Chain A
Amino acid sequence: MISIVDLGIIRGVAWQGDTLEVTVTPTYSGCPATSIINLDIETALRSHGVEKIAIKRALSPAWTTDWLSEKGRARLEEYGIAPPNPAGGPQRCPQCRATNLEKVSQFGSTPCKAHWRCLECLEPFDYFKCI
Chain B
Amino acid sequence: MPDALFEYLLRLGDNTLVLGHRISEWCGKAPILEEDIALANTALDLMGQTQLWLGLAAEVESKGRSADDLAFLRDVWDFRNVLMVERPNGDFGHTIMRQFLFDAFHLPLLDGLQNSSDQRVAEIAEKSVKEASYHLERSADTVIALGDGTEESHRRMQSALDLLWPFSGEMFLTDAVDDALLVSGIAPDLSQIKPIWSKTVEKTLREATLTTPEDDFAHSGGKTGRQHTEDLGHMLAQMQWLQRAYPGASW
Contacts and interface: CB of A to CB of B under 8 A. Distances in A.
B45 A105 contact: no
B123 A59 contact: yes
Interface string A59-83: 1111100000000000000000000
Interface string B38-72: 10011011111101100000000000000000000
Contact of B46 (A30, A32, A63, A109): A30
A47 interface: no
B205 interface: no
A28 B43 CA distance: 12
Given A29-B45, A111-B44, A62 B38 contact: no
B95 interface: no
Interface residues of A, number: 22
A115 B37 contact: yes
Main secondary structure of the interface of B (DSSP, over half): helix
Nearest to A32: B44
B126 A106 contact: no
Contacts of B75: none
Contacts of B48: 26, 28-31
Interface in B159-215: none
Interface residues of B, number: 26
Contacts of A104: 34
Nearest to B34: A105
A30 B124 contact: no
Contact of B126 (A30, A60, A110, A129): A60
Contacts, number: 66
Contacts of B226: none
Nearest to A31: B48
A32 B40 CA distance: 12
Contacts of A31: 44, 48
Nearest to A108: B37
Most buried by A among B41, B49, B128, B138: B41
B137 interface: yes
A117 B27 CA distance: 23
B251 to A, nearest CB: 10
B127 interface: yes
A105 B37 contact: yes
B200 to A, nearest CB: 17
Contacts of B131: 28-29
Contact of A62 (B44, B127, B141): B127
A131 interface: yes
A32 B48 CA distance: 9
A59 B37 contact: no
Interface of A: 26, 28-32, 59-63, 104-111, 115, 129, 131
20 contacts: A26-B48, A26-B127, A29-B45, A29-B51, A29-B131, A30-B46, A30-B51, A31-B48, A59-B123, A59-B127, A61-B126, A62-B130, A105-B34, A105-B35, A107-B138, A108-B37, A109-B37, A111-B41, A111-B45, A115-B34
